[in-house]
Chain A
C-alpha cells in the first residue's frame, strides 16, 4: 500500500457546537425568554426579556428527505427565513424569523412548495417513526409508508387546534418499539413463534446470547438434523421477536401472522400526572400495505371519541384516567379481551383492587 493511501485518522470532534448554526435572535436571547403566544396553528411567537420577538413556523415533511427536497427546504429558508432551519424531535422543520411581516410570505412559500404548516399546541403532530422495510434489518412492517398513509387522513388535525391537548402518535415496526411511547402507538405484534432455519443457526448465531436474550427462557440449544441449532418451546414463546436480531435464521416476520397492535396513553410529560406508558387497546390489526386502512380507521375512531369527550388540556391518558377503561371501550366500540389483562411482572399493580366501579 502506498503511503498516500494510508487511512485518515478521524477527528473525534463529537457533538458540534450549535451556536454557530443558530438563528442570531436565538443566540442573542439564549436563556432570556419571557413568554410565548400562539398566534395561529403552526406558528409560535416567543418574546424575550430584551423585547426581541421571534416567530417560529412549524412544517411537516416526508421525513425521509431526498437531496432535492432538502434543497427546496433550504431555498425557502434562504428566501423567506433568514437562512436557518431547526428540526424538532418529531422531524418537523422549524423556520424562525425575527419579524411578523415575514410570517405570511413564509407560510405561502411553504404551502406552495407542498409542505404543511401546523403541528403546534393541541393538534395531531407528525407521527414519529422508525426505518421499517426501507432500511431496518428486522422490520415487520414499513414505517414511512404507514406515516404517509396516516398523515394523509390526519392532515386537517395537523393544521388545526381541534384536539383537547396535543396528540403524539408513533409507529414501530417491531416490538422493540424504537418509535417510543405515544398518546397513540401503532406497533408490530407478532402472533406466531419464529420459524427456524436450522441449517444456518450454527454458522451465524452465537447460541448462548440468543438463549439469554429470550425474556421467557423459551429457547434452548438443540441438535437438529445432526447440527447444533436452537429450539423454541412454543408453549412458552410470547412471539416477541427478541431472538431475531441476534439470530436472523429465527425468522419472526410473517406475511400473514405479523399483525399490528394499537396502544394509547403514553405520555412523556410530567404535566399534571407523572409520565405514563402506553396501554394495549387493539390488536390483530392487519399489516396491510400500501395504506394500512384498518389501522388508520382505529386511530381515527379513537381520535374522534377523544376529541368529543375529553376536556381541555386532557391528554389521552388524563382523559381515560377520568372516564375509566370501561367507558373507553364502550365509546370506541373496541372489544375488551383477555389479552388486555396484563400478566407480565408487576401485573397485579394494574388490576383494580377496590370497589371503584363505573356504571
Chain B
C-alpha cells in the first residue's frame, strides 16, 4: 500500500511560473514512476524538503560511505529527521567524472538513467559546481551496486574531500574558434595521471584542475582552481583586413572605436585611415575582447601555448584568491611538452602535500610562505610576468643581490643563444 503523500504547500508554489520546475519533476517520480521504491523515496524527499522550507533549516548530516577500494567520490547524507521521512533517510550522492567538455550521446544518458533508476532516486544533475555528474540519492548498499554497474561501462568516481578533484574544461577545440590548446587532452592527461589522488584522499585539502582554451576563461579556472591552464599565443594575432573592413561598413567606424579600440586594455589597437586595423602585438595582452567582438576578422596567432596560474580558491579560510601566474607561456605540442606539464603538476602537488597545513589550499600556502619560496620549491625561475608590480616595501634582506642578478643575465644569455 502506498504511503500517504506529504503535504507540500510551500514547494507547490515552485510549480508556478514559466521556468521548468524541479518540484514538478520530483512529483512525477512520486506519482508516476512504476517502481514503488522510487515513488516512496520521492515522497519522502519532498516531505523533508518541505520541512526545511517551513523551518528554514537543513536536515542532512554527513558520515562515512565509500565504495570498495576507494575513499572518495561519495557524498554521504543521512537524514536527521529520518524517523519522519524514512524512505529517504539514507540519501547519498555519487560524484561521477564527466567526459572532458561534457559531451554525451543520448544513448549513454539513457543507459546512465536506467542504471540510476535501478539503484537510486532517479534524480541527477549535469553537473555539480566541481564538475561531476551528481547522482543524487541512494542508500549505502546501493551506492556500491550502482557504481559497480556504471564502472563496468566506463564511468569512474570523482573526488570528494582532501584530494585531487574532478577536472573541468571548456568546450574548446570541439566547437570554438578561439581555442588555443587541446583542452580535452590537458584535462584527461592531468586527471588520469592523478587517479590515485582522486580516489584516495591524502592531501592537505582539495586540489582542482581547470582548463580554458583562451583568456575568456569560460571555465572560471583562474578564480576557482588550484591549477588553471589558460590557452594563449605569443606571435601576432591574425587580422583578416577584408573582414575588418566589412565590420566597419556594417557597424560603423564609431561603433568600432567605442567598442573595440577604446576598450583595448593596453591601447594596442587603432583604425587606419583606410579602415584597416593596426595592432601593436608587442603590447597586446591576449585579453580576448577584440576577438570576441569581431570573431570573423580577428583570431589567435599560430604559435599557441598556455599560461598556468596557481592557487585560485574561494573564501575559506583566508579570503578569496585568484590563481597567479607561475608559467607565463608554455608550448604544448610535443609529447615532451605534455610530459613536462604533468611533471610540473606532480612537483606542485608534492611540494604542497609536504608543506601545506591541514585544510590549507595551495594558494593559501603560497600566501603564507611567499611566492618565491614556492617557486624555489618547485624549481621555477622568477619572471616579471608573475607580478603586477615589483615590491614596494624596503623591508627585506637582499644580501645576495649580485648573485641573483647574475642568474637573470645568465638565463637571458641562454635564451638568446636559443
Contacts and interface: CB of A to CB of B under 8 A. Distances in A.
Contact of A137 (B56, B77, B105, B220): B77
A168 to B, nearest CB: 9
A162 interface: no
Interface residues of B, number: 132
Contacts of B86: none
Interface in B32-84: 32-33, 42, 45, 49, 52-53, 55-62, 67-70, 75, 77
B19, B195, B318: most-surrounded residue (chain A CB, <10 A): B19
Contact of A62 (B25, B127, B195): B25
A64 B122 CA distance: 10
A272 B263 contact: yes
A329 interface: no
Interface stretch (B292-300, B335-343, B347-355, B378-386): B292-300
A15 B99 contact: yes
A299 interface: no
B184 interface: yes
Contacts of A142: 49, 52-53
B245 interface: no
Nearest to A76: B106
A120 interface: no
B53 A144 contact: no
Nearest to A78: B106
Given A17-B99, A91-B127, A313-B263, A215 B156 contact: no
Contacts of B25: 62, 64-66, 68-69
Contacts of B122: 66-68
Interface stretch (B163-171, B270-278, B326-334, B402-410): B163-171
Given A65-B123, A128-B129, A269 B154 contact: no
Given A145-B14, A253-B57, A64 B22 contact: yes
B125 A65 contact: yes
Given A136-B58, A181-B220, A270-B216, A84 B104 contact: yes
Given A21-B105, A275-B217, A289-B10, A8 B148 contact: yes
B77 A89 contact: no
B11 A290 contact: yes
Contacts, number: 355
B28 interface: yes
A17 B105 CA distance: 13
B317 A13 contact: no
Contacts of B137: 135
Given A35-B296, A63-B22, A290-B14, A15 B188 contact: yes
B345 interface: no
Given A9-B69, A62-B20, A114-B20, A68 B220 contact: no
Contacts of A84: 103-106
Interface in B298-339: 299, 314-320, 322
Contact of B315 (A74, A132, A175): A175
A130 to B, nearest CB: 6
Nearest to A48: B177
A265 interface: no
Given A17-B188, A18-B184, A271-B292, A212 B359 contact: yes
A270 B287 contact: yes
A85 B106 contact: yes
Contact of A149 (B14, B110, B152, B320): B14
Contacts of B201: none
Interface stretch (A23-31, A228-236, A332-340): A23-31
Contact of B125 (A17, A56, A63): A63
B125 A345 contact: no
B328 to A, nearest CB: 14
B123 A64 contact: yes
A179 interface: yes
B69, B98, B144, B220: most-surrounded residue (chain A CB, <10 A): B220
A248 B80 CA distance: 12
A323 interface: no
B10 A253 contact: no
Interface string B183-197: 010011001100110
B52 to A, nearest CB: 4
B358 A16 contact: no
B97 A16 contact: yes
B125 A255 contact: no
A62 B11 CA distance: 14
B10 to A, nearest CB: 4
Contact of B60 (A116, A137, A271): A137
A344 interface: yes
Nearest to A182: B220
A290 B106 contact: no
Contacts of A313: 259, 263, 289, 293
Interface in B85-100: 91, 93, 97-100
Nearest to B243: A35
B188 to A, nearest CB: 5
A60 B20 contact: yes
Contact of B179 (A7, A31, A64, A68): A31
Interface of B: 10-11, 13-14, 16-23, 25-26, 28-29, 32-33, 42, 45, 49, 52-53, 55-62, 67-70, 75, 77, 91, 93, 97-110, 113, 116-117, 122-129, 136-137, 144, 147-148, 151-152, 154-157, 166-168, 170-171, 173-177, 179, 182, 184, 187-188, 191-192, 195-196, 198-199, 215-224, 230, 258-259, 263, 265, 285-289, 292-293, 295-296, 299, 314-320, 322, 357-359
What are the 6 tightest A-B residue pairs by CB atom distance, in nearest-first order?
A: A152-B17, A18-B99, A270-B215, A66-B25, A133-B52, A7-B68
15 contacts: A10-B68, A12-B199, A13-B155, A14-B188, A15-B156, A23-B103, A33-B175, A66-B29, A73-B109, A135-B75, A176-B316, A248-B61, A270-B215, A271-B216, A346-B319
